[in-house]
Each structure stands twice: as structure tokens, then as C-alpha cells.
Amino acid sequence: MKKHNSAHVKSDLNAMSRRLFLSHSGVVAGAVLAGINAAGVYAAEDNTIRLALVGCGGRGSGAAGNALSSSAGPVKLVAMADLFEDRMARSHKALSDQFGAQVDVPPDRRFVGFDAYRKAIDVLGPGGIMIQATHAAFRPLHVGYAVDNGVHVFMEKSFAPDPGGTQEILAIGKRAQQKNLKIACGLMCRHSSARQALIDKIREGAIGQPVLVRAYRMDPGARLGPYTGGDSEVYWQIRRPYFFLWVSSAWFIEMMIHQVDECCWIQDGWPVSAHGIGGREPNSEDCSQNLHTYSIEYTFANGGKAIVNNRLMQRSHNEFATFVHGAKCAAQFSGNVHAPTVSIFKDQRCDKDNVAWTPPRERISPYQAEWDVLLDAVRNDKPHNETERAAYANLASIMGRAAVHCQRIITWDEMLASNFKFYPDVAGLTADGPAPVLADSRGRYPVPTPGTWKEI
């Protein structure tokens, strides 16, 4: 298993990013969306929608690329913010090289530090769109400030690392709705035309009542070495988000929230309970907070089930797919790295030689489609607020993770009632302050232990 220094973290996490940096920005966006509404909808008098990028890693830069690639009218990036200047510099160069004059972010509109998000949002003013693509710990703080200042939001997943943060996101979403602000959330598979077509088939009864959904993401994963000093430990942990629960929900939710959301979409509801098993590999020297296997059984109100499996081990079978079994036959809902590998099978055998139906080929990437929908909503003042659905998918994911970490059945009612936070004072973080989670004498951070662990 590989341990991570800074270079390894940057390379591996970018490679696994939901948005491989700008990889989808060249996709043809389809027909130009028609209609221009009153000037008050926009952040600029020339009908250009202004963007601020808060969080300049691979996901944020990829989202900005999708926005700038949209055929839904003129868009310009006018401000950037990040905790780390080196990451922002790389993002600015890459976006400028690809999009030229659409990237209008001189040095005085590039902000660094814990308060950088405020400065970038203030540059936008009401009517612009903030791309919030930092880690989940900062999502409620930044999105709340944007909404309170009249700014629309695109926020990446996951949406908060804990139930308390998720409750804040739900409340912010309600405030946005009251202010007629648009919020899009980075669960892009909901905007996949192939998956939408299969959902229509499922709702029409083509596979019968969905009885079981099976979702897998199994790969070698990664391991964390000990903190050796030199840099601020707060910064060190933030640069390694997938290894710490407080920063970004840690590995399971960062990797699996899409599949959990797919299960809930297929079952047309939120789970009433979850239980699961998991553990660490034998003799592991991993210093992170992650378990290396998660297997969760969700139960829905109608008795339907979903099994979500995540394993991070070398020399093991790898799989990345979602399947659904109905009373009549089975279907594949999703494929490798969220590919729109969608089909209905003739019976319960999920093999390529047993396909009965496939949807039309997707003409627009879901990453691009979600941006086209948001920009159209902003331009033409259409209702668009994905906050509640995204927050509930987040709660369902936390529910499954808690069931494994606590080794007991967790109910949806418990999730809705919980205000637990791993680190309540994110707004007070400083580079020189103590890190939110501390290692033991061997450099290992706390790992969930049944009977003593709490996260709801």
C-alpha cells in the first residue's frame, strides 16, 4: 500500500477526482439555450454571468471549465480563492490557457487564506455564481455567506462531513429559496440522460418493483503516513482531505456518495434504516481515520434493499458499477468511473450478451448538463434548488458510514434529529492553531471503534 507525501496526495487525489481537471470542458453543450430575461437577473449589464471560484483544486477547476464551456450565454470568471496559493496559481494558468479572456482574474482578485472566500464573494456582488469546491468542512460556512449576500451557488459534493453540517446546509437551502437564489449540487449523475431514461423505464414498470440495488466501488485505495512536522498540521490535514473525517467526510463518502444517491433515486425514497460491517486490513500501518472495507445494507420504506460495497485493498477484485434487480428482470444503472453504462437485461443475469434495452447515447456530459441547467435557471429566473435532495443524499451516506463505524442499526429518524459535528469551530481555524484531530505517539489518528465511537 502506498503512503502519501504531498506529491503523492496531489497526484492520486486529482486522478480520482470526480472532475478530472477540465476533462469534460470541451464537450459540446448542445443547442444554445434561448431567451434572455430582465437585466436584474445578471451580475453584469452586458448579460455576462460572473463567477467566483472558491476552492481551486481539480474539482473546482473542472466545474469552472464546465461553466465557461456552456453554450447558455456569456460567462466570465472574475475572482478566485483558495487556502493555498500554489493550487490557485496552477488553476489560474490552466483555465487562462484554455479559456483566454473568459478568465478575467488579475492578481488583486486572487485571494488566499481562510477568509479568501468572503473577498471573492464580495467581488461578485448579488446575482453572480460562487463555485464552492473546497472540502466539505467549509461548505456550510461559505455557502451560507454567499446566500446571505445574494449570490447563486454551485456546490460540490460531499456537502458536509457530519449531520450538524448537513442540517446547516438544509437551512441555507431554505433561505436561498426564500430569496429566489439558485443552488446546484454536484451529484452530476442526476443530470445523466441515460440514467434518466432508465429511471423512466423503472417507474413505468419495465423491470418490475425494484427489490435490490447493488453498488460497488472497489479499488486499491491509498494510505496515509504520519505527520512529520515542518508545515502547519492544520494545513497538512486539509491537503489530505480523504484521510480525515472532519475535513471532507473521509474516503467512504467522498468515493461513494454518488452510488448512495443512485440507490435512493432508484428506490424513489430515503432509507429508513442502515446496518453494515467493515474493518481495517490486517497489520495496517495506515495513519488515517479510514476503514478499508465498508459493506452497508439500506432498507427502504417499502422493504426494498440496497447494498453498497466499498473496499480499498491491493491484490483484490476491482469493480465500479451499480445494478438494480426488479421483480421481472435486472438492469445496470452506472458503470466504471460513473460512466453511463446503462441497460436493461432480459432476466436477472447482468451480462453483456443478455441485454434487452439500452438508452440513446448521451450527447452531453452530465458534468456539463448540470451547469447548462443552472445557467439557464439564472438567466431565465427558473426555480432551481437542489439543496434538499443533495443534503438528504449526504445524510443517507453518513447514515451508512455511522452504521459501520458504530456497528449498530442507524435509523433515518436518528439522522434527521442529529446535530453532531466532528469539529464545530471551522470558522475559527488558523494555520497556527491546534489541528482538529490529533495523532497518538505512533502518528496514527483516531479510527472508529464500536462501543466508543460517536458521529451522530
| Mean pLDDT for the stretch of residues 113-120 | 98
Let me know whether 373 and 424 are in one domain.
no
Same domain (yes/no): 239, 373: no
Q: What is the pLDDT of residues 268-305, one digit of tens each?
A: 999 999 999 999 999 999 999 999 999 999 999 999 99
Are residues 110 and 184 both part of a single domain?
Answer: yes
Q: Are residues 47 and 64 in the same domain?
A: yes
The pLDDT of residue 13: 40
Q: pTM value?
A: 0.91
* Residue 456 placed within a domain: no
Give the burial string for 325-344 (b: 16+ CB within 10 Å, else e): bbeebbbbbbeeebebbbbb
| pLDDT of 16 over the 80 cut | no
Q: Are residues 60 and 122 in the same domain?
A: yes
433 inside domain: no
Residue 326 sits in the same domain as residue 376: no
Q: Write the CB contacts of 75 (distance below 8 Å, at least 6 apart in sequence).
A: 48, 49, 51, 67, 68, 102, 375
Is position 104 within any domain?
A: yes
Structure confidence at residue 45 (pLDDT)? 52
Is residue 234 classed as helix, strand or coil in its secondary structure? helix
In a domain, 1, yes or no: no
Same domain, 323 and 244: yes
Q: Give the residue numbers spanning the domain of 127.
A: 6-188+367-386
Domain with 268 in it: what CATH number? 3.30.360.10
Please report whether residue 452 resides in a domain: no
Residue 37 has pLDDT above 60, yes or no: no
242 touches 158 (CB < 8 A)? no
The predicted structure's pLDDT at residue 1: 43
Q: Assess if residue 417 is contained within a domain.
A: yes
Residue 181 is part of a domain; what is its CATH number? 3.40.50.720
Residue 444 falls inside a structural domain: no
Same domain assignment for residues 91 and 202: no
User: In this structure, are 280 and 424 located in the same domain?
Assistant: yes
Contacts with 50 (C-beta within 8 Å, 6 or more apart), sequence order: 43, 44, 76, 77, 78, 124, 127, 128, 129
Domain count for the chain: 2
Whether residue 306 lies inside any domain: the answer is: yes
Identify the band that residue 38 occupies on the pLDDT scale cut at 50, 70 and 90.
Answer: very low
Instruction: Examine the domain organization and report whether 199 and 286 are in the same domain.
Output: yes
Q: Is the pLDDT score of 39 beyond 50?
A: no
Arithmetic mean of pLDDT over the chain: 91
Contact 89, 96 (CB under 8 A): no
Looking at the structure, do residues 343 and 237 belong to the same domain, yes or no?
yes
To the nearest 10°, report the CA torsion of 222, 392, 341, 242. Answer: -10
Both 194 and 339 in one domain: the answer is: yes
* 130-179 pLDDT tens trace: 999 999 999 999 999 999 999 999 999 999 999 999 999 999 999 999 99
Report percent pLDDT > 70 for the chain. Answer: 90
